[in-house]
């Protein structure tokens, strides 16, 4: 077992510096600044090459953002992993930083300008970008300070920003390589377009929500050429260039290859056969508007159809005619009215719920639109990203999430990387006077007089470089050599496709086939206690800073991590945070008790131990092994549950209470040492999850308080190691028997309405039970006094081979107790009857799985034991 080198002196009761109550606000800020100033989170690639390296890069939060529950969960997981590895002796690096958040940041600054009656166009591009940098310096990055509140143990000396000078050089470098390799090209494709932000959007910047629209069925053509299509976007019919049907649909075989009339336009359009059409859906015929629908775009390319755009960048109709100049939502009812007037409406407009994409930043309905944009050809990059997981170079936790990853990378479309913004990495391509195109490298100057492309890169382009650009790439740095590939990426499953896959593609491409991380650990979304998504509209959003203010950072972290099952969503509730605060207080009180009673960590644990001391050490080492296994498999919920129940149930509720007896007799010194040993290891096990309270308690327990730069701190204390030699099944069995005895008597007392602290006279008949050695402890736990003169047993409980005779005269309602026991006895007999009938049923025994049969046998045995116990208790009740 690992031992601290700076120990507290041994002895009896001692003066204790710890306040009587734990107040997080008095501890957290002070400790965090001490850790940072002492350089405890700073990694050094040149330090001790023999030490294993461990690295995580933080998913960079937006510069416009503030800490929300999703961040708090994500950061708590990462901090737990890094703190544990640091304690295990790794050279551990956790890189912090922020994303420039192109659209979000530009929107924020434009809103500020609007208050002054200005637009970005009034300033011009250069002045506007300067204004954004000024905003970033004055108001952006609040989340970095909030990360300190949470306790993030990041290396602040390596803070990065996706638009700082080094990241800009990395972006220019990889763009040049991709461009020269033919993996970046410019083309007219259909993309997501925001008519308000006036830019293309990535898929992740589009939020889909079910909305009730209107489905209208329209007759195209007439007579033998008649065909009916249905749409929720009637205004786009002005841009139709075909009607498509399935090749095998006999209803329309005679129309394939012929032209039909498109209402309201005077144009004739062809009927084409395409496998994409579902003949069983609706009429089996669909209108094809290649310039305004992604599926129609592909049909148009397959059949070489014209791409006719009828909406401008602001969503206004451009088609010549009566609808020209109308907004798309104004044009929709106008087109339907015109069709109705011509008798083209086959069915009246009816409500129809469907998924509608909205701009994540401004909530405007997104418009699919053909536009000239820059794209990354992702085919070979995506294949490499899939292969890295398939061949085991990268592991995904939980493993079942791998199927979702493959579904994305195996079917990825070319990535639109250009944005029509001013804030961001400007596309490093210049155009000559005669249409020439050049992409100079990061250290090259473009030809004089040439014009740079006006678009900027998608924010995800620069953040895809994050795992290696933050380590110094494209330069060959000591950090890149020591810490790449990073050890694990921790992120939500909701961005598995959009960010994780892109980092995989660029990391493998830029780093000669070495993936950016060896493990992808995915967690779920934080939801309310009912499993509902947090939303301002639902009124169920929880601000983690509010919880930190009221309950402390440790309680906030513990609440989140206790619900973090691998890949599953994480429900939270305020009363759970209160429970976590109570847990921290429990640790505080237990440690104060230990210190007051002279607990220490000096010298080895004695070889000769009491059964109780041997039991708690046996359980401690079993818990160390369990926690290690859970953390290695990224099961933070199970790790926290294991620690919670060991700390609260076993250490505080049982061992501390039993230790009180031992501290008063000749076993006091051994118990002081064991108590110190247990708390020392328990606090170190808990430190990665609840760093503040454990630091304050551990430094008091081990005598290493004071300035963290001068003395030991739990931050760098050795991680506990399980010692199989401490396993003692005999001691565990003895204490488990004692616990069952105490629990049963406590239940009896509670059933009789006796207060927990109320003393009751009792005679204990031990027979041959080894529990006789623990009589003093049993009496202390149960508040049982020795029988005195006039003692008369009014109740008798046979438990664990011990008979407990209680004098509860005047305290027990005998009739009520008899009634309760008879009710429980009837239920037990019913259980026995049911189990016996099943086990005696030949058909059941022949068909039931072995596990089901075993379960019924177990139920039968338990019910029979309950009958024996209840009958004995009834027999022991006094007459009356």
Query: Residue 832: which CATH number?
Result: 1.10.287.380
φ, ψ dihedrals at 99, nearest 5°:
-100, 145
Please give the DSSP secondary-structure letter assigned to residue 649. Answer: I
Angstrom distance (rounded) from CA 455 to CA 472: 26
Cβ atoms of 847 and 781 within 8 Å: the answer is no
Q: Please name the helix (run of DSSP H) or strand (run of DSSP E) that holds residue 270, with its range, or none.
A: strand 267-273
Place of tokens 């000669």: 512
In sequence order, what are the beta bridge partners of 805?
A: 763, 796
In sequence order, what are the beta bridge partners of 784?
A: 760
| Stated length of the chain | 880
Residues 174, 197, 58, 143: what is their CA dihedral angle, to the nearest 10 degrees?
140
In this structure, are 811 and 794 located in the same domain? yes
CATH number, domain with residue 213: 3.90.740.10
Q: Which residues of the chain have pLDDT under 70?
A: 1-16, 348-349, 536-537, 704-711, 810-812, 876-880
| Structure tokens belonging to residue 448 | 């004089």
With a CB cutoff of 8 Å and minimum separation 6, the contacts of 188 are 307, 370, 371, 372, 373
In this structure, are 778 and 672 located in the same domain? no
From 152, 167, 200, select the one nearest 28 (Cα to Cα): 152
- CB neighbours (10 Å) of residue 227? 20
SS3 content of the chain, % helix, strand, coil (to 5): 45, 20, 35
Cβ atoms of 238 and 264 within 8 Å: the answer is yes
Q: Are strands 784-785 and 760-765 parallel, antiparallel or unpaired?
A: parallel
Please give the DSSP secondary-structure letter assigned to residue 98. Answer: E
Place of tokens 């049969």: 853
Angstrom distance (rounded) from CA 576 to CA 529: 9
Find out whether 536 is annotated in a ligand binding site: yes
In this structure, are 645 and 771 located in the same domain? no
Question: Could you tell me if residue 283 is inside a domain?
Answer: yes
Query: Where a domain ends, among 367, 389, 405?
Result: 367
In sequence order, what are the beta bridge partners of 99?
A: 62
In this structure, are 861 and 789 located in the same domain? yes
Cβ atoms of 239 and 310 within 8 Å: the answer is yes
Question: Could you tell me if residue 260 is inside a domain?
Answer: yes
Cβ atoms of 547 and 623 within 8 Å: the answer is no
- For the chain, the farthest-separated pair of C-alpha atoms sits apart, in whole angstroms, at 116
Angstrom distance (rounded) from CA 305 to CA 242: 8
- Residue 447's SS3 state is coil
With a CB cutoff of 8 Å and minimum separation 6, the contacts of 761 are 784, 785, 786, 787, 788, 791, 806, 807
Question: Could you tell me if residue 58 is inside a domain?
Answer: no
In this structure, are 715 and 739 located in the same domain? no
Please give the DSSP secondary-structure letter assigned to residue 787. Answer: P
Range of the domain at 837: 733-876
Q: What strand order describes the sheet that includes 395-397?
A: 395-397, 517-523, 486-492
In this structure, are 761 and 837 located in the same domain? yes
Q: Please name the helix (run of DSSP H) or strand (run of DSSP E) that holds residue 430, with its range, or none.
A: strand 430-431
Cβ atoms of 508 and 384 within 8 Å: the answer is yes
In this structure, are 234 and 355 located in the same domain? yes
Angstrom distance (rounded) from CA 409 to CA 679: 48
Please give the DSSP secondary-structure letter assigned to residue 311. Answer: B
Angstrom distance (rounded) from CA 626 to CA 187: 55
Angstrom distance (rounded) from CA 174 to CA 474: 9
Question: Could you tell me if residue 74 is inside a domain?
Answer: no
Angstrom distance (rounded) from CA 360 to CA 718: 45
| Structure tokens belonging to residue 117 | 């009656």
Query: Where a domain ends, among 352, 367, 382?
Result: 367
**pLDDT at 4 (0 to 100):** 42
- Residue 785's SS3 state is strand
Question: Could you tell me if residue 519 is inside a domain?
Answer: no
Per-residue b/e over 7-29, b at no fewer than 16 CB within 10 Å? bbebeeebeeebeeebebeebbe
If one counts the domains in the chain, the total is 3
- CB neighbours (10 Å) of residue 266? 8
Q: Please name the helix (run of DSSP H) or strand (run of DSSP E) that holds residue 361, with its range, or none.
A: none
- CB neighbours (10 Å) of residue 818? 15
| Structure tokens belonging to residue 344 | 């083209």
pLDDT digits (tens, 9 = 90+) for 85-102: 999 999 999 999 999 999
In this structure, are 756 and 770 located in the same domain? yes
Angstrom distance (rounded) from CA 154 to CA 145: 12
With a CB cutoff of 8 Å and minimum separation 6, the contacts of 293 are 190, 236, 368
Cβ atoms of 66 and 143 within 8 Å: the answer is yes
Cβ atoms of 468 and 508 within 8 Å: the answer is no
With a CB cutoff of 8 Å and minimum separation 6, the contacts of 842 are none
Q: Please name the helix (run of DSSP H) or strand (run of DSSP E) that holds residue 13, with its range, or none.
A: none
Burial class (CB within 10 angstroms; exposed 0-12, middle 13-18, buried 19+) of 390? exposed
In this structure, are 230 and 363 located in the same domain? yes
In this structure, are 671 and 742 located in the same domain? no
| Structure tokens belonging to residue 654 | 């049982």
Angular region, 194: left φ>0, alpha ψ -120 to 50, beta rest: beta
Cβ atoms of 431 and 403 within 8 Å: the answer is no
CATH number, domain with residue 691: 1.10.730.10
In this structure, are 237 and 303 located in the same domain? yes
Whether omega before 168 lies within 30 degrees of 0, making that bond cis, reads: no
φ, ψ dihedrals at 300, nearest 5°:
-60, -40
Question: Could you tell me if residue 77 is inside a domain?
Answer: no
Cβ atoms of 630 and 624 within 8 Å: the answer is no
Whether omega before 398 lies within 30 degrees of 0, making that bond cis, reads: yes
- Residue 542's SS3 state is coil
Q: Is the dihedral of CA 59, 64, 70, 75 positive or negative?
A: positive
Question: Could you tell me if residue 867 is inside a domain?
Answer: yes
Query: Where a domain ends, among 687, 707, 727?
Result: 727
| Structure tokens belonging to residue 327 | 């907004």
Place of tokens 């009857």: 833
Helices (H), 322-457: 328-341, 379-390, 402-409
In this structure, are 833 and 787 located in the same domain? yes
Question: Could you tell me if residue 241 is inside a domain?
Answer: yes
End-to-end CA distance of the chain: 59
With a CB cutoff of 8 Å and minimum separation 6, the contacts of 623 are 642, 643, 646, 685
């Amino acid at each position: 077992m690992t031992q601290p080198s700076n120990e507290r002196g041994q002895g009896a009761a001692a003066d204790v510096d710890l306040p009587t109550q734990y107040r997080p606000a008095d501890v957290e800020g002070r400790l965090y600044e001490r850790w940072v100033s002492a350089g405890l989170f700073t990694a050094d690639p040149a330090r001790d090459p023999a030490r294993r390296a461990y690295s995580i890069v933080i998913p960079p939060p937006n510069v416009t953002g503030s800490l929300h529950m999703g961040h708090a969960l994500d950061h708590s997981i990462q901090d737990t992993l890094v703190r544990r590895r640091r304690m295990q002796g790794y050279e551990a690096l956790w890189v912090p930083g922020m994303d420039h958040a192109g659209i979000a940041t530009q929107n924020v600054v434009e809103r500020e300008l609007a208050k002054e009656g200005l637009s970005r166009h009034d300033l011009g591009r250069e002045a506007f970008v300067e204004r954004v940098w000024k905003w970033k310096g004055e108001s952006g990055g609040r989340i970095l300070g909030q990360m300190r509140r949470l306790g993030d143990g990041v290396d602040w000396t390596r803070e990065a920003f996706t638009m700082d000078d080094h990241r800009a050089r990395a972006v220019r470098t990889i763009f040049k390589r991709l461009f020269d390799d033919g993996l970046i090209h410019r083309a007219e494709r259909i993309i997501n377009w925001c008519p308000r932000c006036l830019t293309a959007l990535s898929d992740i910047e589009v939020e889909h929500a079910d909305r009730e629209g209107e489905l209208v069925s329209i007759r195209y053509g007439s007579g033998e050429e008649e065909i009916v299509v249905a749409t929720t976007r009637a205004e786009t019919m002005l841009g139709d260039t075909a009607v498509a049907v399935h090749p095998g649909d006999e209803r329309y075989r005679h129309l394939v290859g012929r032209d039909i009339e498109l209402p309201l336009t005077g144009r004739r359009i062809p009927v084409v056969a395409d496998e994409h059409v579902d003949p069983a859906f609706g009429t089996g015929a669909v209108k094809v508007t290649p310039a305004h629908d992604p599926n129609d775009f592909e049909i148009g390319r397959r059949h070489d159809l014209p791409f006719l755009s009828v909406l401008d960048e602001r969503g206004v109709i451009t088609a010549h005619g009566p609808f020209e100049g109308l907004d798309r939502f104004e044009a929709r009812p106008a087109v339907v009215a015109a069709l109705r007037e011509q008798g083209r409406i086959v069915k009246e407009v009816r409500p129809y719920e469907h998924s509608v994409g909205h701009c994540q930043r401004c909530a405007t309905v997104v418009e699919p639109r053909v536009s000239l944009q820059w794209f990354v050809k992702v085919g070979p990059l995506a294949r490499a990203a899939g292969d890295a997981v398939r061949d085991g170079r990268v592991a995904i936790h939980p493993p079942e999430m791998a199927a979702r990853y493959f579904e994305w990378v195996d079917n990825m479309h070319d990535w639109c990387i250009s944005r029509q913004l001013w804030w961001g990495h400007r596309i490093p391509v210049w155009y000559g006077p005669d249409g020439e195109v050049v992409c100079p490298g990061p250290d090259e100057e473009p030809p004089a007089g040439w014009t740079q492309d006006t678009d900027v890169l998608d924010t995800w382009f620069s953040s895809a470089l994050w795992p290696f650009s933050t380590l110094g790439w494209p330069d060959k740095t000591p950090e890149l050599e020591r810490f790449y590939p990073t050890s694990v990426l921790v992120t939500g499953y909701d961005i598995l496709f959009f960010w994780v896959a892109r980092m995989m593609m660029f990391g493998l491409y830029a780093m000669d086939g070495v993936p950016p991380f060896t493990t992808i650990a995915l967690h779920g979304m934080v939801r309310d206690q009912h499993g509902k998504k947090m939303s301002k509209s639902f009124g169920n959003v929880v601000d983690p800073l509010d919880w930190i203010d009221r309950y402390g950072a440790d309680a906030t972290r513990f609440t989140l991590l206790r619900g973090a099952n691998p890949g599953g969503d994480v429900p939270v509730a305020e009363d759970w945070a209160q429970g976590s605060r109570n847990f921290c207080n429990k640790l505080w009180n237990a440690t104060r008790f230990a210190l007051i009673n002279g607990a220490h960590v000096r010298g080895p644990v004695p070889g000769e131990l009491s059964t109780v001391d041997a039991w708690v050490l046996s359980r401690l080492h079993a818990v160390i092994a369990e926690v290690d296994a859970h953390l290695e498999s990224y099961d933070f919920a199970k790790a926290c549950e294991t620690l919670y129940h060991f700390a609260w149930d076993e250490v505080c509720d049982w061992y501390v209470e039993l230790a009180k007896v031992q501290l008063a007799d000749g076993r006091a010194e051994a118990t002081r040492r064991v108590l110190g040993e247990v708390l020392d290891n328990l606090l170190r096990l808990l430190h990665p999850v609840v760093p503040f309270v454990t630091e304050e308690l551990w430094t008091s327990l081990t005598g290493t308080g004071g300035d963290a730069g001068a003395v030991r701190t739990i931050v760098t204390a050795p991680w506990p190691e399980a010692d199989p030699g401490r396993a003692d099944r005999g001691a565990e069995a003895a204490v488990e028997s004692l616990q069952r005895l105490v629990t049963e008597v406590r239940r009896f007392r509670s059933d009789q309405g006796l207060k927990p602290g109320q003393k009751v006279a009792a005679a204990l008949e031990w027979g041959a039970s080894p529990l006789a050695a623990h009589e003093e402890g049993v009496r202390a736990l149960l508040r049982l006094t020795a029988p005195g003169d006039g003692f008369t047993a009014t109740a008798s409980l046979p438990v664990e081979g011990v008979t407990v005779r209680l004098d509860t005269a005047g305290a027990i309602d005998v009739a009520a107790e008899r009634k309760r026991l008879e009710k429980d006895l009837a239920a037990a007999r019913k259980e026995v009857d049911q189990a016996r009938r099943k086990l005696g049923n030949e058909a059941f025994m022949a068909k039931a799985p072995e596990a089901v049969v075993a379960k019924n046998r177990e139920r039968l045995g338990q019910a029979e034991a309950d009958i024996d116990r209840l009958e004995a208790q009834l027999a022991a009740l006094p007459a009356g």
